[in-house]
Each structure stands twice: as structure tokens, then as C-alpha cells.
Amino acid sequence: MSLGPDYLVYAKRGRGMDHDLYPYSNLFERPPIAWPGGARVAIWPVISLEWFPITPADKPFRAPGHMQTPYPDYRHYTSRDYGARVGVYRLLDALAKVDAKASFAVNAALAERYPALIKDVLAGGHEIIAHATDMNGTIATGLDEAEERALIKGALDRLETACGQRPRGWHSIARSQSWNTPRLLAEAGVEFMCDWVNDELPYAMTTPAGEIINIPLNHELSDRQILIVQQQSVASYAEQMRDAFTWLEGEAKQTGGGRMLPLAITPYIMGLPYRIGAFEDLLSWLAAREGARFATGGEMLDAWRA
């Protein structure tokens, strides 16, 4: 049977994605971006500080890395807590050795439970961005709008109380959002989010509640994806990050505009004793590159706006 003439008629059909949040844009046709200090590549470490309740919630979905075996799942529960007790301090030391500042994506519950850890993160000059309330605080379509609004506000309010400053940025669990999330984040006063991975530089979204900037935190370059999902070695991870930097620096030289290399890091994954040495070596290699500069999300946002 033949299709009717209206089959291919779709109101939102156009270039790019089927929404009005932002227009399609080709990275290689944009005006060049300038990073502070004339850096060609801004290196953006994002370290997730997560609190996993021992009983997971499966609605709207179970967070990656959550409990797996019959509860109480002490094996996975304590391995996640290892990140907050051991792994994160190895990462803090590694960053300090090269004088690098990072964005720490923090669950509000963790900030409340470990105030000494938050104090140490802030003492290192690092940035706190919001990472929901805890690892049961997932967001996806189907979550009631009022409930999502309350989750976002609750996470921001609790982090402001625990950290002494309101987070400028937001990173959803598993980078997952509902149809409403960009608008609700803008409504809550969040300046940037890290969840959409369709680019390599910041870009603006326009929502009914105002503008919000997306700073893409590449999923394929994360330690979880490379080391856990793909089961590759930490040496392979480090090699891929060096390759990525080399390519991005070459593009920056060619185009005259800056590029960005995100490092999405998980303390209970990268902070293990057989991985941290390779990560320290990677940071040292990056710090020695003439065209490199470590930056937080807030610093990149300010440079992009300027």
C-alpha cells in the first residue's frame, strides 16, 4: 500500500535536532574561541563524588555503578565508598602536583556526610558543581515535573549549605535528562550543565526560563567507559587521552581557535593503586604541553562568554 502525502510532513523537521533549544552549528565554521593565557587546549578534569544508597531506586532508572547483588550489597557499597575515603585523596594529590584545578561533581548527600572531604576539595581551589541529591536522584522523561524541580532545588540548596557556595554548574547522573531539564535548570539559576555531548566546545541553549550554557563532558573519554565498560587498561586510557590532546592541539593551531579536552574521572575507578600512577603521569605530560591549560567549568564558561 502507498503512503499518504502527509506521511513526511513533520512540524519540527529541520537542520539539527528536533527542538528549538539551539540552532545547528558546525564547529569548524564558528568564530574562534580564546582561552585565558593563550592556551590552545583547555583541559577540564571533572571528578564525580557520589553517594550510593545501599538500596537502589529503579525509577526512572538505576544509576550506573549502583548496587547489583542481593541487598545489602556490601561489596559494591564499600567499593564505592572507597572512592571517598581513599581514591579521591590520591586524585587531589595528583592534581596538586601539577597545580591543576578541577570541577568536582558532588551529590548533596555526600557533601553532607563528608564535610571534611568537601573542605579539602575547596582548599585545593577546586570547583563544586551539582550532581543531584544522591545516586538515586536520577532524571528521565516520566519523572513528574514538580518532583524534578524539587530534586534540582534540593540538590542546589543542600550543596550551598554544605559547601558555603551555590553551584554554578549541573551534571546529571548518567548525563540523563527529561524534556524539562534544561528549562528547570535555567529556572533554578544554574549557569551551565555538562550533560549533552554533541559538541566539543560550550554552546548556548535558549529555554522559556532563560539561557543555559552546555559544556560537553564527552562520555567516550570517561574512565568508566574506557576502563570498566570497554575493559581496557589504564595505559591504553592514558594513550587515548594523549592522542586526543595531540589532535585537538593540531586543530587549534590550524584554526586559530581554542579546543577543550574533558577528563571525566571516578575516584573509586581511577584512584586504585594500580591505576593512579599512570594517571599522574598523564597529568604531568599534559601540564608540560606548551599549549595546555587546566581549567574548571566556571573558568571556561567565563572565557567563552568573554
**If pLDDT is split at 50, 70 and 90, which confidence band does 58 have?**
very high
**Environment class of residue 256 by beta-carbon count within 10 Å: exposed (0-12), middle (13-18) or buried (19+)?**
exposed
Domain count along the chain = 1
* pLDDT in the model for residue 9: 72
Cell of 119: 573542605
Give dist(CA 281, CA 298) in Å, integer: 26
* Alpha helix segments (H runs only) across the chain: 74-82, 88-97, 108-113, 115-123, 145-163, 181-187, 223, 234-255, 267-270, 276-287, 297-305
Average pLDDT of the residues in 119-140 = 98
293 lies in some domain: yes
Determine the structural domain holding residue 285 and report its residue range: 34-305
- CATH no. for residue 84? 3.20.20.370
Q: Specify if 230 maps to a domain.
A: yes
- What's the burial of 26, exposed, middle or buried (CB within 10 Å: 0-12/13-18/19+)? exposed
Decide if 268 is inside a domain. Answer: yes
C-alpha cell at 242: 594523549
Answer whether 39's CB lies under 8 Å from 258's CB.
yes
Nearest to 42 by CA among 301, 302, 292: 292
14: pLDDT confidence band, cut at 50, 70 and 90? low
The continuous run of DSSP H or E covering 292 comes out as: strand 292-294
CB 274, CB 237: distance < 8 Å = no
- For residue 57, pLDDT over 90 is answered with yes
How do 103-106 and 41-49 pair as beta strands? parallel
Q: Has residue 6 got a pLDDT over 90?
A: no
Q: What is the pTM of this model?
A: 0.94
